[in-house]
Amino acid sequence: MTATPGADHSTDSYLPEHGNGGYRVLHYDLDLDYRVFSNRLAGRAVVTARASQWLSRYSLDLGRFRISEVRVDGRPARFTHRGGKLQVRPEKAIGYGATFTTEVRYAGTPVPISGRWGDIGWDELTDGALVASQPNGAPSWFPCNDRPDDKATYLVTITAPAPYTALVTGDLVSRRRGAGTRTWVYERNEPTPAYLMSVQVGRYDLVELAAGGVIQRAAIPPGLRTNFRYDFGRHGEIMATMERFFGPYPFLEYVVVVADDDLDDPIEAQGMAVFGRNHVDGQRTHERLVAHELAHQWFGNSLTVADWRHIWLNEGFATYAEWLWSEVSGGPTAATHAAQWHAWVATHRGYLTVANPGVHRMFDPLVYKRGALTLHALRNKVGDAAFFRLLRSWVAEHRHSTVTTDQFRAHVDQDDLLTAWLDRPELPPL
């Protein structure tokens, strides 16, 4: 067999080693068994994909697991597994446009993916586990095409010991009890990239987060009920504010998980956000982060960047949502925040190009703050009514798809302003 060009690399300019060419995933069916005390995960994954070229071989991203079997369309397939790549050679080459399934049985101790941002992915907690996969941690728990522009649907079944609750990004389909275990089945029908799928396992109380048209639930450690009730007490108002500015919430429900460990930063997943117990102090110290993570459900999750260089479309928008909530809730106005952060950026000598900051600076605070400042400059230019119309139509036109900076340029039709703010490292006047 001849090699298939590009099979082990994606077209992402920042993380070409993550993700693969030659096919697009349509659906993942994952059946997982997790043992908390030994931190052992056993899985059966069935990946349904469509070939975008003739394939004599192809690859999936998968971390350090022992693989017992790989089948393609029900037939045993040869495979190798090294360097985070599961390379598969089916009995017969797969034709262009053909739909095919890859079944992988695997087991082992899940560990995060190590890299320039630290350890990303499946993380063992003091008592349980969480998954935080942005940008490249999904292979730490299932075989996948780990690129942001390959969005698929999911069915995830997970079994865990009976004292624990297992939550997955998706809508709960069923749950059942076994001998000392509980099994949950979740369905994710909206197109979702692998990095936005998440699993949370812990001893949680399940509570209502807020009433309203959108189902809003929370999973929290029992001892945090009082502080949580206050810190997240305005979540219904935050949701209503976001819907007014950005349009209808893009999923069926929103779930907040508070891990019973401290976390450096909250984490967004599809229809879910994860906070550490340190973010719940009974004083609403971190309410801006509550708004930020919710805003990602529109910007990052429903609208997903086609390539990581466009990350300002996630983080700049979510940061501006913080300023909008502050303005609505009686705090400093967005204009006040913009002036303060403009002054901060002006004294910060680490200039970068927002539209292409470079892989080492993807998560630089300047991407967040200058991205938000770009939106405020646009708001000042076109006025409030036109600005929020542009945001709502941007969200509606690209719902559950991928987006680029050039698409946003075309949408707002303000080339001079966006060129100054996004393409040049010098800071424009506000």
Q: What percent of the chain has pLDDT over 70?
A: 98
DSSP annotation string for 175-198: EEE-SSEEEEEEEEEEEE-GGG--
Q: Classify 165 as helix, strand or coil.
A: strand
Query: Does the annotation flag 315 for ligand binding?
Result: yes
Instruction: Give me the CATH topology for the region 304-423.
Output: Neutral Protease; domain 2 (1.10.390)
For residue 374, what are its two tokens? Answer: 């770009």
pLDDT tens across 55-104, in order?
999 999 999 999 999 999 999 999 999 999 999 999 999 999 999 999 99
Check whether 14 has a pLDDT greater than 60.
yes
Which residue matches tokens 């275990």?
181
Check whether 273 has a pLDDT greater than 60.
yes
Closest CA to 24 of 136, 151, 135: 151
Neighbour count for residue 130 (Cβ, 10 Å): 23
- Torsions phi, psi for 65 (to 5 deg): -120, 160
Q: What is the pLDDT of residue 9?
A: 74
Check whether 398 has a pLDDT greater than 50.
yes
User: Can you tell me the distance from the alpha carbon of 307 to that of 284, in angstroms, rounded to the nearest whole number?
Assistant: 34
pLDDT tens across 319-374, in order?
999 999 999 999 999 999 999 999 999 998 667 999 999 999 999 999 999 999 99
Query: For residue 206, what are the β-bridge partners?
Result: 219
Q: What is the pLDDT of residue 280?
A: 97
Q: What is the pLDDT of residue 10?
A: 79
pLDDT tens across 210-263, in order?
998 999 999 999 999 999 999 999 999 999 999 999 999 999 999 999 999 999
Domain spans, the chain = 23-192, 205-297, 304-423
Which residue matches tokens 């080693």?
17
Confidence of residue 11 (pLDDT cuts 50, 70, 90): confident
Which residue matches tokens 């009730």?
229
**Crossing angle for the helix pair 365-382 and 312-328, to the nearest 10 degrees:** 60
Cα Rg, the chain, nearest whole Å: 22
Q: What is the CATH code for 205-297? A: 3.30.2010.30
pTM: 0.96
Query: By the 8 A CB rule, do 160 and 177 touch?
Result: no
End-to-end CA, the chain: 59
- Average pLDDT on 273-288 reads 97
In this structure, what DSSP letter does residue 4 have? Answer: P
Is there a catalytic annotation at residue 14?
A: no
**Crossing angle for the helix pair 312-328 and 405-412, to the nearest 10 degrees:** 50
Mean pLDDT for the chain overall: 95
Catalytic residue among 103, 190, 287, 293: 293
- Average pLDDT on 281-308 reads 97
Is there a catalytic annotation at residue 186?
A: no
User: Can you tell me the distance from the alpha carbon of 259 to that of 82, in angstroms, rounded to the nearest whole number?
Assistant: 32
Query: Does the annotation flag 208 for ligand binding?
Result: no
Instruction: Give me the CATH topology for the region 23-192.
Output: Immunoglobulin-like (2.60.40)
Q: What is the pLDDT of residue 1?
A: 32
Q: What is the pLDDT of residue 427?
A: 93
Q: Give per-residue burial for 274-301: e unless 16+ CB within 10 Å, then b.
A: bbbbebbeeebebbbbbbbbbbbbbbbb
- Average pLDDT on 392-408 reads 98
pLDDT tens across 146-172, in order?
999 999 999 999 999 999 999 999 999
Distances from the Cα of 363 to the Cα of 157, 310, 357, angstroms: 32, 11, 9
Query: Cβ contacts of residue 342 below 8 Å, gap of 6+?
Result: 373, 427, 430
Determine if residue 85 is left, alpha or beta; phi over 0 gives left, psi from -120 to 50 gives alpha, anything else beta: beta
Check whether 7 has a pLDDT greater than 90.
no
Confidence of residue 2 (pLDDT cuts 50, 70, 90): very low
Asked whether this chain's domains 23-192 and 205-297 adopt the same fold, the reply is no
Query: Does the annotation flag 286 for ligand binding?
Result: no
Closest CA to 214 of 298, 331, 320, 322: 298
Q: What is the pLDDT of residue 8?
A: 72
Check whether 3 has a pLDDT greater than 50.
no
